[in-house]
Structure formats: structure tokens, C-alpha cells
Amino acid sequence: MDVLFSAQNLFTEVGGAEKVAQNIVRRLAKKHEVHAVARGKGGDYDREGVHVHEVRCPNNILFINLFWGRFLDRLNIKPDLVFTQLNAAPPTVFWAKKKSIPTVFHVHSFEHFCLDSFGYDDVYACGQRCWRCRNPRGILLSPAYKLIQERNRKALQEADVVITPSNFMRDVVRHYTGRTADVVPNPLDLESARAAGKGDGILFVGVNRHKGADLVSELVKLMPNRKFVLAGRTEKGFEWLAKERNVEYLGYVNDIRLAYAKARILIAPSKMADNSPTAIYEAMANGIPVIASDTGGAAEAAAEGGILLSTADADGWVQAIERLFADETACRRLGEDGKRKVQGLTMENGWKALVRKVGERTGVAL
């Protein structure tokens, strides 16, 4: 069987969504002929049994929405099944629909509903009034934003299968499209994230505003005698953190185990209502206690295995962190609770659940 995986990024950039995508294409390639289309330097090559077709194009959501279908046409193939995610999803769904090919739309990003991932507002109170958050650009570009939102809404309604990794994201999809998605845990390879030991740092992964870098910046100043370990790409405006005396800045790391080996605690103060943060599950697999924001998918991921706090209460975060440093027993117990919670989140279980749901919805046997 021929399978197409169409995504904005696959092997060129690695975040939580890309990790899931890579796990899926590797697993598909064990039994099927898999073609993957993603942004890159251009050209075709094989990687881990996958025929990769890189598209040289701007990393621009409007450009991808309008022109991605042309790149798919150039492949001159008609797969039996299509998987898609992120900004390439709407044009991929429309392309596949014209060819009567069943499509699996994996929802990882809130950009399908809000270009700022609800970073400034409550998810359900947003109303997609972009001018409020992106003023004055929101006023000037409002027609383009509305076009993107409408294309995402239509694609989510037309896809044969819509998968979300969290109940929270399922509810968001239903709220904005009327479509009830299927909740299937991400097929995660948590074993590959297990570190050999633990450190004494406060780990924060993904140094950007949406992930909570504003609060982390405040904590770094409030806790000068605690070491913070920052991993992942850094958004403009937060580079100064790397120069702070109590910060160990790792930047982007190919092997995330290097970060977990330095951590005593993981903090995940997502300002946006995160979907299903991979870092939380990876930390739990390492027995590292998690303190997360009390909203969205972060709260769902850390429930029954972490501490949930409001991102508006910096003092509360300081107190929670200090309690875990002061009480070794409580710290160890919380880490063990998290470890038990993720025991069933294996690559094999996630893959079986995905195969079962795709089969139910499309009749295609993977």
C-alpha cells in the first residue's frame, strides 16, 4: 500500500509534533511504501525507509495554505491513504478529497484556530477577533487570517479521520468546527528520552512566550540561588536569559536526554492552552517531578502526576519549587507518580490505537 505523509516540517525541525510524525512514518515504512512531503532545501532522498520529497518554500502559513497542493501535484502519485498535520493540513485534505483518497488529519497546533495559539486570550472566549491581539497588523491582514481560519475549519470538517492527542484539543476542535475528533494518545518513544541520571536543575523546554518564557524569566530573577536549565530554540527577546549567572543554556539539543540528565524538576508554565506537551511525558518517564500550568493540555498531561499552578502566580511557583527541593521524599513520590502514569504511553500502544481508529473510520488496514 502507498501512503503519503504531508507536513510543514518533518526531519528539518524537531518539536513535539515532528517527533510524533517521525514515529508514524517510521512505523508505516515497515510495511508500506511511504512518501513524505515537507519543507526543506529541496530535492528527493530516502531516509529510514521513507521517500522524502523536500519542498523549498517560505515558512509562511498563508503561502503554504494556498500553494501546497501544487507541490503535491508534482509528485505524480496517487496514494491509498494520506496523513497530514500542521499548516500543510488544509491544502493536503483538499488535494486528497479531489482524488477520493482517505485522509487522516492529526491536530497538534492551535494555529488551526488562532494564529497566536490563544496566547492572549481564553480558548473559548477568543471569537477569532484577530484585530484585538494583532493590532494593527490584525486589522490590515484580517482578510488573510479569516481565509486561513475558514480553510482550517473546512478541512477539519472534511477529513475522513481527525485525531487529537488530548481531550482538551478534542473539545477545542468541536467548539470551532462542530466536528468531534477521536482522541488517540501520541505514539511516543519515551524510552529514547530516558536519561542515565538526574541533576539539580530546574528544566524548561522551549524558550518562547507561548511556553511560558515570561514567567520563567521572572523565576530566574526571583530565585538567584537555583540553577535553571533551558533547552530548545529561543524566541527573539529572551536571548538575555542565556547570560544569567544561574542559567545553563543548552539551546536546541539533538539528544533530549542531555537535558533530562541535568534536571531535578521540569517546569511547564504554558501561557497558551498547550495541546499535549511531549516534554511533560518525557520528564515523567524519567521520574522527574513536573510543575505545570493549570490550563489546557498541560494540565491534562500533568494531572495525577504533577503540580498544577496558575501562571499568574509567580510566588506560588517559587514556593512549589522550593518545597520539592526541601522535601526529598515528596520530590521522589511525585516523580514516581508521574512514572506510573506514563507506563502505558508506549510507542506500541499508541501505534495500535492509531491503526485501530484509522481502520474503523476508513476501512483501510494498516
Same domain, 64 and 131: yes
Same domain, 297 and 324: yes
Stretch (H or E) spanning 225: none
Same domain, 89 and 69: yes
CATH number where 97 lies: 3.40.50.2000
Same domain, 184 and 218: no
Kindly report the CA angle at 272 between 316 and 105, in degrees rounded to 5?
140
| pLDDT tens per residue across span 247-263 | 999 998 889 999 999 99
Same domain, 157 and 201: no
Same domain, 176 and 222: no
| pLDDT tens per residue across span 209-236 | 889 999 999 999 999 999 999 999 898 9
Same domain, 163 and 211: no
How many structural domains is the chain composed of?
2
pLDDT value at position 202? 98
For residue 317, give the C-alpha cell: 511557583
Give all strands of the β-sheet with 161-164 in edge-to-edge order. Answer: 43-47, 50-55, 33-39, 2-7, 81-85, 103-106, 161-164, 182-183
The residue type at 32? H
Domain region containing 40: 2-188+346-362
Dmax (CA) of the chain: 62
Mean pLDDT of the chain: 91
**pLDDT above 70 (res 179):** yes
Same domain, 240 and 354: no
**pLDDT above 80 (res 128):** no
Kindly state the DSSP code that residue 208 receives in the 8-state scheme: S
Q: Comparing C-alpha atoms, which of 13, 181, 189, 162 is closest to residue 85? A: 162
Of all residues in the chain, the percent with pLDDT exceeding 90 is 71
**pLDDT above 70 (res 120):** no
Same domain, 216 and 323: yes
* 125 Cβ contact partners less than 8 Å away, ≥ 6 residues apart: none
Same domain, 176 and 201: no
Same domain, 98 and 168: yes
